């Protein structure tokens, strides 16, 4: 054991309590939970015997997980295992998003981690079509009731043409598709 890790901290009585840094793990999942202290009795140190009660669910072994890994303690093997940890990451296969919720699960090799432009562009087109449909509906009501003005008739044709242009867009996979101009 490396005695350089022994630290002294004053307790409430002003006495120095010595301890070593240990590494805690979750009692259920066995995942690394952080650093703790195991305190050593001064009497044992004075006799040259290093004894310390390990707090529950701790080990003196420091975990060293890699990127996108979580350390999981193997109590029987007295070692850390490292498991893939992509929890919370959303990936896409085609246009279907999936969010990883469990440790040990990795995105498939054909997945992309950035939302495909088609997803956002399709949503934008849907919103623009909904707005255009509302404009056309109001102008059609005015026409049906014989209340449409000449300016509104021109605007009705412009909104109908705009809807057709939106529906014919074929570049939604581009980062910056050529959006038709909104009628004014």
- Is the Cβ–Cβ distance between 32 and 25 less than 8 Å? yes
DSSP helix/strand/coil, 159: helix
Half-sphere exposure of 141 (CA within 13 A, CB side): 5
In the predicted structure, residue 12 carries a pLDDT above the cut 70: no
In the predicted structure, residue 6 carries a pLDDT above the cut 50: no
CA distance 50 to 53: 10
CA distance 61 to 59: 5
* pLDDT: which is higher, 113 or 2: 113
Residue 44: phi and psi, rounded to 5, are -65, -40
Q: What is the pLDDT of residues 29-88, one digit of tens each?
A: 999 999 988 876 555 555 655 566 778 999 999 999 999 999 999 999 999 999 999 999
Q: Where are the domains of the chain?
A: 3-84, 86-115, 117-167
DSSP helix/strand/coil, 98: strand
CA distance 110 to 68: 18
Q: What is the pLDDT of residue 1?
A: 43
Compute the average pLDDT of residues 20-33.
94
Half-sphere exposure of 31 (CA within 13 A, CB side): 9
Report which DSSP code applies to 5: G
In the predicted structure, residue 115 carries a pLDDT above the cut 80: yes
pTM above 0.95, yes or no: no
CA distance 67 to 34: 17
Q: What percent of the chain has pLDDT over 70?
A: 83
List, in sequence order, every residue forming a beta bridge with 37; answer none if it has no partner. Answer: 21
Q: What is the pLDDT of residues 64-78, one digit of tens each?
A: 999 999 999 999 999
| H runs (alpha helix) in 37-116 | 42-46
Other beta carbons within 10 angstroms of residue 132's beta carbon come to 23
């Amino acid at each position: 054991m490396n005695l350089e890790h022994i630290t002294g901290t004053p307790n409430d009585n002003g006495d120095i309590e010595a301890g070593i840094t240990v590494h805690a793990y979750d009692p259920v999942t066995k995942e690394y939970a952080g650093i703790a202290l195991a305190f050593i009795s001064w009497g044992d140190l004075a006799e040259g015997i290093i004894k310390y009660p390990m707090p529950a669910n701790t080990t003196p072994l420091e975990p060293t997980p890699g990127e996108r890994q979580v350390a999981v303690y193997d109590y029987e093997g007295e070692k850390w295992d490292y498991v893939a940890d992509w929890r919370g990451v959303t990936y896409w296969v085609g246009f279907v998003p999936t969010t990883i919720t469990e440790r040990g699960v990795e995105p498939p090799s054909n997945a992309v981690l950035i939302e495909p432009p088609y997803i956002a562009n399709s949503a934008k087109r849907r919103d623009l079509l909904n707005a255009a449909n509302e404009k056309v509906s109001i102008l059609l009501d005015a026409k049906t009731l014989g209340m449409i003005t000449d300016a509104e008739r021109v605007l009705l044709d412009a909104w109908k043409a705009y809807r057709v242009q939106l529906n014919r867009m074929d570049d939604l996979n581009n980062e910056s598709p050529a959006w038709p101009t909104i009628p004014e």
